[in-house]
Amino acid sequence: MGIYLNPKNRGFQEALNSQIYVDKTGLIEYTNSCLNTKQKYICVSRPRRFGKSMALEMLAAYYSCGCDSKDLFNGLKIAGQKTFPKYLNKYDVIYLNMQHFLLRTDAFNMTKYLEQAVLEELHETYGSLFSEQTVILAEALEKIYAKADKQFIFLIDEWDCVMRERQESEALQKQYLDFLRSLLKDQPYVALAYMTGILPIKKYGQHSALNMFGEHSMTGQYDLEEYTGFTQDEVKALCRRFDMDYVETSSWYDGYMFKNFQHIYNPRSVVSAMSFKNFSSYWASTETYDALKIYIDMDFDGLRGAIIQMLSGERVKVNTLSFQNDMHSFNVKDDVLTLLIHLGYLGYDAQTEETFIPNKEIIREFENAMSVGGWSDVMQILKASEKLLSDTLSGNENEVAEALDKAHTEAASILTYNDENSLSCAIGLAYYSARKDYRLIREFPAGKGFADIIFLPLPHSSKPALIVELKYDESADTAIQQIKGRQYTQALENYSGEILLVAISYSKADKNKRHSCIIEKIKLDR
Q: pLDDT tens, 162-199?
A: 988 888 788 888 889 999 999 999 999 999 999 999 99
Looking at residue 204, the DSSP 8-state letter turns out to be B
DSSP type of residue 430? H
pLDDT of residue 514: 80
Would you call 413 exposed, middle or buried from its count of C-beta atoms within 10 A (0-12, 13-18, 19+)? Answer: exposed
**Amino acid, res. 499:** I
The two beta strands, 152-157 and 92-97, are parallel
- 22-59 per-position pLDDT tens digit: 999 999 999 999 999 999 999 999 999 899 999 999 99
Sheet holding 515-524, edge to edge: 438-446, 449-457, 465-472, 497-506, 515-524
pLDDT at residue 197, as a whole number? 95
Nearest of 363, 344, 364, 168 to residue 265 by alpha carbon: 344
Whether 369 has a pLDDT exceeding 80, the answer reads yes
Residue range 471-488, pLDDT digits in tens? 877 888 888 888 887 777
List, in sequence order, the alpha helices (H) in 284-354: 290-296, 303-311, 333-343
Q: Kindly tell me if the per-residue pLDDT of 207 is higher than 80.
A: no
pLDDT digits (tens, 9 = 90+) for 220-256: 999 999 999 999 999 999 999 999 999 999 999 999 9
pTM for this entry: 0.90
Question: Within a 10 A sphere around the Cβ of 256, how many other Cβ atoms?
Answer: 27
Q: How far apart are CA 178 and CA 272, in angstroms?
A: 39
